Amino acid sequence: MFPRLEHHISDDKQFAAKRFLVRNVRLELDKKLCRNCGVCLNSCPNDVITKGAPGASIKKPGKGKFMAGVVLSPGTCSYCGVCSYMCPYDALHLFIDGEQVPLDKLQLAVKGALPKLVAKEVTLKDGKKARQYMDGHLEYTQEACQSGCRTCIDVCPTGALSFQKKEGWEQEKFVIDKDKCIMCGSCAFSCPTGAIKIFREKITHEGKFNDPFWPNIVKKLMDYHGK
C-alpha cells in the first residue's frame, strides 16, 4: 500500500520518509551537525516536529552524555522544507527522489512563500560553520538555576555562555557574550529548569514573501522563550 512511511534513528542520523508510487520524499537530520536549538521545531508550520524521545537524543559536543533531541514524523510531515530552510546549522536536508534539494530551490522559496534570509556566516567553537540571521537577547534567572548542571555551557555552539569565577564564597556570575550569541536557542531549548529564556526580536531577511505564511513562522520563533 502507498504511501509507505519510514522512520529511522541511528547514532549519526534520523530520517523520515514517505514513498509514493512514482515519487519519494525524505527529510534527513544529521545529528553530527544538530545543536539541539529547536529552531526546526519552533518554525515548523504544521507543528509536527516534537521534542525528545528515547533513541532520538544527540550527544553533547565533547561529552559522553546524552540530551533530548527532536523527533521527525514521517506520516504528518508535509516535507515542505521549512525546517531545513531555517536550520542555522545546515543539519536538516530535504530529498526528493534521492536528490538533495538546495535551499533556494525549495518550492516555498521559489513560489515566494519564504523570503531570502540575510545571514552572516560564523565559525563555531568546534570549527564548523553556522548562519546567523536572528537577533534579540537572552535572560538568565539565578534562582531557577538550581542544579548548576552547565548544560547551557556544553551545548552553546559559539561559546557565548560562561560562568565567571569569584573569590572565596562569592557566587559565580553567569556571563552572556552578546557578540558571540547567534540567538539559535540551544541553551533555552536544552535547559532542564527554564533558567534561560530567549527573546528573538528580529529575523533578518529580504525580498518579497506571501502573507500570512512567513509572518506566522516569524511569530512562532519570536513567541518561543524556552521551557
Instruction: Tell me whether residue 203 is in a domain.
Output: no
d(CA 40, CA 81): 10
Instruction: Tell me whether residue 132 is in a domain.
Output: no
Instruction: Tell me whether residue 98 is in a domain.
Output: yes
CA–CA distances in Å: residue 152 to residues 40, 172, 177: 19, 15, 13
Please state the φ and ψ torsions of residue 192, each to the nearest 5 degrees.
-75, -15
Tens-digit pLDDT profile for residues 137-151 = 999 998 998 767 888
Number of domains making up the chain: 1
Instruction: Tell me whether residue 38 is in a domain.
Output: yes
Nearest by Cα to 140 from 165, 94, 172, 168: 172
Instruction: Tell me whether residue 72 is in a domain.
Output: yes
SS3 label, residue 189 = helix
Instruction: Tell me whether residue 9 is in a domain.
Output: yes
Instruction: Tell me whether residue 55 is in a domain.
Output: yes
CATH code (residue 29):
3.30.70.20
Nearest by Cα to 157 from 179, 182, 137, 140: 182
- Which residue range forms the structural domain that includes residue 60? 4-111
Tens-digit pLDDT profile for residues 60-71 = 444 444 455 899
Question: 83 pLDDT exceeds 70?
Answer: yes
SS3 label, residue 103 = helix
pLDDT at 173: 86
Tens-digit pLDDT profile for residues 164-182 = 877 766 778 899 999 999 9
pLDDT at 68: 58
Instruction: Tell me whether residue 22 is in a domain.
Output: yes
pTM for the full predicted model: 0.90
